[in-house]
Structure formats: structure tokens, C-alpha cells
Structure 1
Amino acid sequence: MRLSTATTRSEAGVLATNKVLRNTYLLLAMTLLFSAATAGLSMALNLPHPGMIVSMVGYFGLLFLTTRFSNSAWGLLWVFALTGFMGMTLGPILNMYLHAFSNGHQLIMTALGGTGVIFLGLSGYALTTRKDFSFMAGFLMVGVLVAFFAGLAAVLFSVPALSLAVSAMFILLMSGMILFQTSEIIHGGETNYILATVSLYVSIYNLFVSLLQILGVFGGDD
């Protein structure tokens, strides 16, 4: 009887994990498409970048609302609002690369392809090996905070070398976040697919922008 109960609980846990994983990747695909659409709209309308303050207030405000309502249907509304807003802020950045570099289209597509390869490769590795990357939590938290404040310093004091170093840091940190978040879903550490989606989306977004910046420095024709 005890063995049967334990087996049932184990099977229930696997089913729950698979459901969270399936819902996460489905919602992630939908938010990425929606974000791409809002970025395209922003580019077509040639909207200006809202600036660092508006971007940060909008991001953290929508992130708070998404987290606050992550256990209800309202969470879906806010996750699309968040990813749509981030897409709108990405549009002016893409337009800048298209106008600043003669090979801007190539840089964007290379960054997009690189982001896709890194995400699929790391996610596939975590899913197939089923390794537990929860030990990375503390390192990633500290690393993101250091990179965030270093990025602010680079913008405020206009230090190109520091900005480039921050982009390299974010590539490594976001790669680690993809491994960590996928591992959390697999091992039951994350049971909310909305929160899991936001974490993976933000990692992909930062990974793409960081790759684009580095490619612009080393691969731009102008």
C-alpha cells in the first residue's frame, strides 16, 4: 500500500512538472511573438525610445503586477502587457542599429540566431541531463545585481568599455538563468508557469540585446 501510494505521488509529480513545462513553453512562444509584433509596430511608427527612467518604471511596475497576479487569470494579462512593453522599447533600439550600420539587418539576424541557438542548446541540455542547477541561485542573484548597477554606471558616466563588459556579463548570466530556470521547472522548484515564463523571457530579451551590442562593436561596418 505504501509503495503504491509513493508511486502514485511520484507519477502525479511528474505529470504536474510536465504540465508546468508545457504551459511555460507555450506561453513563452506566445509572448515572444507578441513582443516581436509590438517591436515591429514601434519600428514602423518610428517611435522614440522612452528613456531609461520610463523603461525602468514601466518594467518594474509591470513585473510587480505580473508577480502579484501570477496565481490568477489576471497574470496572463499582465505578462502580455510586460512583454509587449519590452517589445515597444526594443523597436527603437533595432531602428538605431538599422540606421547606424550598413549591415544592421545582418547584425540583428545574427544576434537573433545566436540567441535562439543559446536558448535551445541550454534548455535542451537541462532537459536531457536533468541536472539540478539550483546551486547557481545565489551566484546569479549577486551577478545580476552587480551587472545591473555597472550598466547604470556605464550609461550615466558614458564609459563604452564598461558597457561592453556589462554586455558580456549579461550573456553569461542570462545563459546561467536559462539553465537555472529550466532546472527549477524540471525539479519542481518552480510550479507557476507565468513566473517561469517571465524569467525565461527576460533572460532571452537581455541575451539578445547584449549579443546585439557586442556584434555592433565588433561586427559593424560603420
Structure 2
Amino acid sequence: MPHPTRTLAIATPYGGAVDRDTAHRVLRNTHALLSMTLLFSAAVAAAAVAFQLPAPGLILTLVAYFGLLFGIHKLKNRSSAVGLVFALTGFMGWTLGPLLSRTLALPSGGQAVMLALGATGAVFLALSAYATTTRRDLSWMGGFLFAGMVVALLAGLAAMFFQIPALALTVSAVVALLSAGLILFETKQIVDGGETNYVLATVSLFVSVFNLFTSLLQLFGFMGSDE
């Protein structure tokens, strides 16, 4: 007799159906690689703080980020893509270092970092649990969240160039909400078979978790600076 779980399939909004074991395997592999990349990125960020490494700059950040993303998508079905994932997440850890240094220099900087870290972990766990249990179709969220991130990016650039602190804080709050939505959407995509490549799924979730953490860090850091 065939294994009973292998006869089960999940009807998806992406067309067709995905084997339940396949979806679980992709989710398991994604969470395993995500855990390793988060630890690696945190180690790089800690080193950047310890050695007071300067920020890489906007141009280098954009070139490295999109260049590595292009390489990951190009090699997504090869083992070498995993190495590029670690390169990307390590680089993002470097960019996080200067922000952590500025936050830790504030009167309640240590508390702000711990609050942002705890809140990010709690949000990720809660939304992941919901996405893996709900039967609701969340595919409609994709376009809305993508458009929101594009608008937030443009607003963030405007806040940086024109030095508007109030706008920067508003953008941080919006990005935090959008990132939480993306964690929910991306996890549900894996569960429903909309994403079957664990390398790409890991990168998407890492970027969302990274954006959520940095946005919360900026918000908690601002509140701590007023004390």
C-alpha cells in the first residue's frame, strides 16, 4: 500500500496542486537555511559593531544587493546558490552593523536592540504558525505588499535626501507592517506550493525579517533617545 501522506495533495490558488510532503519539505529546508543565515548575518553584524566598520554606502549596497540577488536567481537550482545566499545575508549583516552601533550609543540603546529582537522573533513565530494552519487564500496580498514596499522605498529615499525625521519614522512604521505581511504571505506561498525553491524562499523570508528588525530597531531607538 502507498504511504497515506503521499496521496494527499493541497489544492492551491496558483494552479494545480502540490503534494503535502513536498510543501512540508520545502518549508523545513527553508526554515533550516533561514536559521543558519540569520545566525551568520548576526555574527557579521556583531563583528561590524566590534570593529566599528563603516557603512558600505548607498551605491555599493545597491550594487552588491541586486547583484547577489541576480546571481541567486540565476543559480537557484544549483548548490552554489547557497553560497551566494550566505554572501548576501553576510553583506546585509555588515550594513546592519553601523545601525546597531548608533542605537547602542543611545541612553537606552541596549534595551531598544533587545526589544526589536524580541518583537521580530515573536512576530515571525506567530505569523509562521498562522500561515501553516490557516486555509484562507492569501495570494491577493502579494501585489498590495509589493506596491506598498515600492512606495515606502521611494518615501524612505526622500526622507534621507531631504532630511525629514518625521517621514523617516513613518516609513519605518509602514515598512514594519509591510514586512510582517510579507512574512505571512511568503510562508503561505510555500505551504500552498506557490514557491517550491527553498533557496528563493529563504532569501525572501530573510529580507522580510531583516526589514522588520531594522524598522523596529529604528522605532525603538527613537523612543529610547527621548528618555
Give TM-score, length-normalised by structure 1: 0.93
Query: Which position in structure 1 is the counterpart of 2:45?
Result: 39
How far 1:132 moved relative to its partner?
A: 2.3
Q: Distance between the aligned counterparts of 1:148 and 1:65, measured in 2? A: 23
Query: Which position in structure 1 is the counterpart of 2:182?
Result: 177
Structure 1 residue 187 corresponds to structure 2 residue 179? no
Query: Which position in structure 2 is the counterpart of 1:87?
Result: 93
Structure 1 residue 102 corresponds to structure 2 residue 87? no
Query: Which position in structure 2 is the counterpart of 1:135?
Result: 140
2:127 equivalent among 122, 141, 163: 122
How far 1:141 moved relative to its partner?
A: 1.1
1:199 equivalent among 199, 204, 207: 204
How far 1:85 moved relative to its partner?
A: 0.3
In 2, are the aligned partners of 1:131 and 1:183 still within 8 Å (CA)? no
Give TM-score, length-normalised by structure 2: 0.91
Which 5+ residue runs of structure 1 have no aligned equivalent? 1-6
Amino acid in structure 1 at the alignment position of 2:218? Q
Query: Which position in structure 1 is the counterpart of 2:58?
Result: 52
Amino acid in structure 2 at the alignment position of 1:26? A
Amino acid in structure 2 at the alignment position of 1:85? F
CA displacement 1:21-58 (0-9 Å, x = unmatched)? 00000000000000011111111111011122211211
Amino acid in structure 2 at the alignment position of 1:165? T
Q: Distance between the aligned counterparts of 1:130 and 1:91, measured in 2? A: 39
Q: Distance between the aligned counterparts of 1:146 and 1:221, measured in 2? A: 28
Query: Which position in structure 1 is the counterpart of 2:9?
Result: 10
Q: Distance between the aligned counterparts of 2:223 and 2:8, measured in 1? A: 53
CA displacement 1:161-205 (0-9 Å, x = unmatched)? 111111011011101101100110010000000111001100010
SS at match of 1:133: coil
Structure 1 residue 111 corresponds to structure 2 residue 116? yes
In 2, are the aligned partners of 1:130 and 1:186 still within 8 Å (CA)? no
Q: Distance between the aligned counterparts of 1:64 and 1:161, measured in 2? A: 34
Q: Distance between the aligned counterparts of 2:9 and 2:148, measured in 1? A: 35
SS at match of 1:134: coil
Aligned identity (percent) is 54
How far 1:221 moved relative to its partner?
A: 4.8
User: If each structure's helix is expressed as a fraction of its own residues, which one has the higher value?
Assistant: 1
How far 1:9 moved relative to its partner?
A: 6.6
Q: Distance between the aligned counterparts of 1:138 and 1:125, measured in 2? A: 20
SS at match of 1:93: helix
Query: Which position in structure 2 is the counterpart of 1:146?
Result: 151
Instruction: Say what the alpha-carbon RMSD is for the aligned residues.
Output: 1.7
Query: Which position in structure 1 is the counterpart of 2:78?
Result: 72
Q: Distance between the aligned counterparts of 1:196 and 1:16, measured in 2? A: 14
Amino acid in structure 2 at the alignment position of 1:8? T
In 2, are the aligned partners of 1:103 and 1:221 still within 8 Å (CA)? no
2:69 equivalent among 55, 60, 63: 63
Query: Which position in structure 2 is the counterpart of 1:3?
Result: none
Q: Distance between the aligned counterparts of 2:201 and 2:127, measured in 1? A: 15
